A = this chain, B = another copy of it.
Amino acid sequence: MYKLPALDAVKELKAIAVLTSGGDAPGMNPAIRGVVRAALSHGIRVYGVNRGYSGLIIGDIWEMNSRSVTNIVQRGGTLLKSDRCEAFKDPTVRHQAAEILREREIEGLVVIGGDGSLTGAALLAEESGIPVVGLPGTIDNDIHGSDDTIGFDTAVNTALDAIDRIRDTALSHERLFLVEVMGRDSGFIATQVGIACGAEMVVIPEVEFKIQSLCFQLANNRVKGEGSSGIIVVAEGPRPGLTYRIAQQLEENGQSPKVCILGHIQRGGSPTGHDRVLASCMGATAVDYLRAGYSSIMVGVQKGEVLDVPLKEVLERKKPLASEWIAMSSLLHK
């Protein structure tokens, strides 16, 4: 359980708004609920914006009450719907969005999404002066400035559940499976899943893949009497098709691997307890930051503590995967 910040309110807010943007992540609903319940408890009106920035720029906005978020804490997806909005890259469009917020006396905006969405948030805040607080909502856990993101834990567990099933067939048929998990250009999901499922190897963008090492390890497993079954977890990586390319290389080396692409199942489903709690408290904390007069920040988690991270800092760096985890992953598969 994280340490939560203690903040003094310096502003009386009339109304705030909340939106979800980019790829959906399990936990967006409890995050919305956290924002709504915290705002209402301080007498602040809350507006929900439909379809992320796409809804904001056309004023698709509605007032939410306590009942709007009843019975959603356990639902995947986002009740506010989400979208990737190209138009929001245009400053004129963002200016328009700010006008729409001002018309409704909205004095703060909470944006839940990945780094694309947070970039939009930072620009909107800077240009319009409207306070904006971001929440890291993405299954990929690739947001600099936060050790954890909303949806990551659920995605890991969903992938694990799928791989536990695949392991049954791998063992029954003494077969090798390549299982591709999500994660864009980082290996967070793959490493966590690989350790947790007892994978024979994890292929991630952070480490150069060599077919020889893989073949060597597979031969080694056989020598140790572990048979020819196995699970290799592959991070999708920046270029599509990696898993199929590895499968082909394995075939050229005398293996007959099967390929599974887990795909979109990793985005959905009821959020785990961890993600529900993280999202709920980040949502509530976002309201506290707005009341304390902060803007252009993201609510992040660092060293077990929930805190504010300047959006600028969040967006200018890539979050690295700690090398000790890569080592740990390889140690445990031996």
Contact = CB atoms under 8 A, between A and B. Distances in A.
Contact residue range for chain A? 35 or more
A27 to B, nearest CB: 10
Given A334-B37, A334-B41, A192 B1 contact: yes
B196 A73 contact: yes
Interface in A220-269: 224-226, 258, 260-265, 267-269
B332 A273 contact: no
A193 B33 CA distance: 16
A37 B168 contact: no
Copies of this chain, count: 4
18 contacts: A3-B324, A33-B198, A41-B331, A66-B226, A67-B225, A71-B198, A75-B168, A77-B168, A82-B173, A158-B165, A162-B265, A164-B269, A166-B264, A260-B263, A260-B264, A261-B263, A280-B328, A302-B304
Interface of A: 1, 3-4, 6, 20, 24, 26, 28, 30, 33-34, 37-38, 40-41, 51, 66-67, 70-71, 73-78, 81-83, 147, 153, 156-158, 160, 162, 164-169, 171-174, 177, 188, 191-193, 195-198, 224-226, 258, 260-265, 267-270, 272-274, 276-277, 280-281, 284, 301-305, 322, 324-325, 328, 331-334
